[in-house]
Structure 1
């Protein structure tokens, strides 16, 4: 009818206008259109986040006092804006989010006592298929960004929720870990809450994955949100300025160091070993700043929405780390490789710790290298199927274990006043070796990874082997 035609015409006009914005921005910043869409979505997320406190004020003015009514309004706003943001960034591919969420939710409805394992296996199988069909690693390497990153975050969400729902039905409270006690779900989330959590706009395009219990508490002003959210201007400003600083670092390095004039440089063989290590180190540092920027922008968006608040510390100071996925200073200060995951991709690290590492460790036994290897392999599969990811994460399993051994050796064998003499060379090796290992993550192609490492005489692997032997 006429109304339907008018609506379609208006939608077509909006899509055409958005395409014009993307095209013009892509030309202006000299980036592929996929990356441009991603960056624009990242920039829009904080503006959408500001809509949550605005919605709360509007509800108060309208006299809406019931908690369930406010929660439904927040959920509806999150679902609608999140879906629109995904469509703006990834177009029609957004429909796979509905497939993902519907299948996981139906599994929790159908088979509660096994839903965690079924959702885990099914979501990873779907993600692996998508990585393979879309060749996502090659797209990322060329500078494009597709919906696979969003799907990776959804995998963490749906598996965590299903396992927490399963735990409440299969594990006695007395047998639960402290983490399980805080996260288990006695009741199935409502379809609206579940869908809006999956599509929460502030952290949608880049992560991190936020636990459903935290999201549910925020929706209903429970837990740490029961007394209201403190002023967010100062923490939000700090996070924004930090993101801008990291973007500046990335841009400064990217102007001189790229994948083409480092790893793939035709003259690479003519460089001395010291020059190769230096180029890889600087390129790695700059490339890491890109991730700092992206995750800090997501944290900024969650902070302005109010969800970023996580309670008060022992000194009564407000904490804003519900969506904090990166602590750049913590990464750069890490003395051993096992300390880096505490500050890098933190929420994914917590997911790997609590939903993989802890669960593959037999009860009553201490985890060892096998548990680290399994966890790192799962992380590698999650990132993609290219050999570079497997090489990086398997190598990093040994690197993390070497870091643990060296930390234990230092604490038991070296007097405290002399530890700085050990810390300085360990810190230097940690960061040079990290950027050396990251060559595999960046290049992803097996032949290129081996060529890169061999051009540096596998010094990182040799150093890790020495630390393993020395710390044993």
Structure 2
């Protein structure tokens, strides 16, 4: 078997560990399909957990499951012993453990050709499994803590996902490792998982066929992987540390930064498309029916990215809604909204706090931290342009401002994401400096101008006497 794996890996130009991971990752699709045939809720819980653990063992080795046991145990003990503070205890403990494991599980392999480009996938997803699991155990613990609060005053998400009853160990085990979905997400809620497994809620009636949306996700995955393998040798990250890059003019360097970010994103699109197919085919991705006539099945729970939505985003504010969608939703529910004091509006500090948590979740690399601080500036600057756009007195000016917001997002996003790719402090600052920090200066200027040029507020309608 070992010789066969080596021969197969050599034939497609990857290492054996990478091939093993890719096979296990793709195997989440038939694993999700077979889940539908397992009888009984208990049987489905056991199947979900055992298949997830088995795929992790085959892909990453025994140490991966040992790592997963730590946050899982911490979260369950916190719910069992300290319900009122279970969310906070799990949040701090699980994030602390993730940080401690970061240097060991987040080795980023760099390369300038198709073979080494593909090997990036193994490092990304090895770290990603623990990252996704961390979010799941935290949300479960927080929702169990919310279960003892009165519904009055709770936000809609808290009311929807709060848990009044402690999940059993079998339910918790299945939720955490469900059919290998922790490889790359998407993150989903314990309450949805329980209803799906027990065939309640929207799953009480027969669900629509997942065949066509699954095929669509697989076709998208193939296109994304093809584009990534085609583009990555032409725009390698190593170019940022080569003398040739610094011999180019400003516009050439700026274009290369755009193409570098554009290229890297197709790797993520591929990964999320595969995981989307696995969640859809299992049935968990189903979220009900549209209000159109005739109604159409929706599979939003599986969706983690809107490719065109990212590449053609008209505003940086839209990016969290179309990129890593389920993690963005998690951050909104469990960080952003909980940082807002009652009776007060959210501001830059809540946004910065949320982006800081996101940076820590990705790993304590300088490039991540710089990227997420940059993204807070980027979003705030885009909000300023949007407010001007909404207050514009005529359609021509609104169209000009809309285009400016699109160009602004294109510029700052691809400038900022260099830090996300190269990770090191020195390389990140060098790449930013090479274009005169344009992607940092422009958002700051927009924010400052927003405090000076404030759009007129629409007059409030007078109450009838």
Partner of 1:8: none
Within the candidate set 366, 372, 375, 1:396 is matched to 375
Partner of 1:307: 284
Q: Structure 1 residues 32, 433: closer, same or farther in 2, change over 3 A?
A: farther
Q: Cα distance, 1:471 vs. partner?
A: 3.0
Partner of 2:116: none
DSSP-derived class of the 1:163 partner: helix
Query: Structure 1: where are the runs of 5+ without partners?
Result: 1-16, 60-69
Q: Cα distance, 1:156 vs. partner?
A: 0.5
**Aligned residue runs from structure 1 range 19-418, under 5 A:** 19-20=2-3, 22-55=5-38, 59=39, 70-93=40-63, 94-132=65-103, 134=104, 136-138=106-108, 143=120, 144-145=122-123, 147-169=126-148, 171-260=149-238, 262-315=239-292, 316-416=295-395, 418=397
TM-score (norm 2): 0.90
Q: Cα distance, 1:308 vs. partner?
A: 1.0
1:450 counterpart = 2:433: no
Moved more, 77-86 or 95-104: 95-104
Contact residue 307 and residue 322 of structure 1 kept, 8 A: yes
Q: Cα distance, 1:21 vs. partner?
A: 5.4
Contact residue 137 and residue 386 of structure 1 kept, 8 A: no
DSSP-derived class of the 1:398 partner: helix
Distance in 2 between residues matched to 1:420 and 1:137, nearest whole Å: 44
Distance in 2 between residues matched to 1:24 and 1:124, nearest whole Å: 40
Distance in 2 between residues matched to 1:153 and 1:130, nearest whole Å: 14
Q: Cα distance, 1:434 vs. partner?
A: 0.8
Query: Structure 2: where are the runs of 5+ without partners?
Result: 112-118, 452-465
Contact residue 325 and residue 344 of structure 1 kept, 8 A: yes
Distance in 1 between residues matched to 2:161 and 2:52, nearest whole Å: 24
Distance in 1 between residues matched to 2:405 and 2:230, nearest whole Å: 27
Q: Cα distance, 1:450 vs. partner?
A: 0.6
Distance in 1 between residues matched to 2:398 and 2:19, nearest whole Å: 47
Contact residue 381 and residue 390 of structure 1 kept, 8 A: yes
Q: Deviations over 1:136-184 (max 9, x none)?
A: 2545788351632111101110110000000111x21111111101000
Runs of 4+ in structure 1 displaced over 6 angstroms? none
- Paired residues, what number? 439
Contact residue 203 and residue 299 of structure 1 kept, 8 A: no
Q: Deviations over 1:386-426 (max 9, x none)?
A: 11111110111111111122212211225345422222232
Q: CA RMSD in A?
A: 1.8
Distance in 1 between residues matched to 2:31 and 2:197, nearest whole Å: 16
Q: Cα distance, 1:347 vs. partner?
A: 0.8
DSSP-derived class of the 1:236 partner: helix
Q: Cα distance, 1:429 vs. partner?
A: 2.6
